[in-house]
Amino acid sequence: MSRRPRRPLRSPRPTSPQRPSRARRSLPAPTEKLHKVLARSGLGSRRDMEAAIASGRLKVNGVRAALGQRVGPSDRVVLDGRAVP
């Protein structure tokens, strides 16, 4: 009985360029509109908070806030000189 010659092993599949997995990608911090954050903290309704922003009573990180501005967990919000939690 003669043995058949062994086939040569196939070369491994060519590797594709590595992309970072979703877990490794740095995701931006989630942001929300300022008036929603303030209303949720119990300072007034969303409409009241929009009026406070428009009148210039709010500052975010030391700068006067604007309507529609988004804030994240690291932003410092001040209403009438008092920090908002």
Q: What is the pLDDT of residue 72?
A: 93
Q: CB of 50 within 8 A of CB of 35? A: yes
Q: What is the pLDDT of residue 7?
A: 75
The DSSP symbol for 30 reads: P
Q: Is residue 14 part of a domain?
A: no
* 24 domain residue, yes or no: no
Is residue 69 assigned to a domain? yes
CATH number for the domain that contains residue 72: 3.10.290.10
Residue 13 lies in a domain: no
Burial class of residue 49 (count of CB atoms within 10 Å of its CB; 0-12, 13-18, 19+)? buried
Q: Is residue 52 part of a domain?
A: yes
What pLDDT was estimated at residue 28?
A: 73
Cα dihedral value 54, 78, 45, 34, nearest 10:
70
Q: What is the domain extent for residue 76?
A: 33-83
Per-position pLDDT tens, the chain of length 85: 667 777 777 777 777 677 666 656 666 778 999 999 999 999 999 999 999 999 999 999 999 999 999 999 999 999 999 998 7
Nearest CA to 84 among 46, 48, 34? Answer: 34
pLDDT at 65: 95
Residue 1 covered by a domain: no
Instruction: Please check whether residue 78 lies inside any domain of the structure.
Output: yes
Count up the domains in the chain and report the number: 1
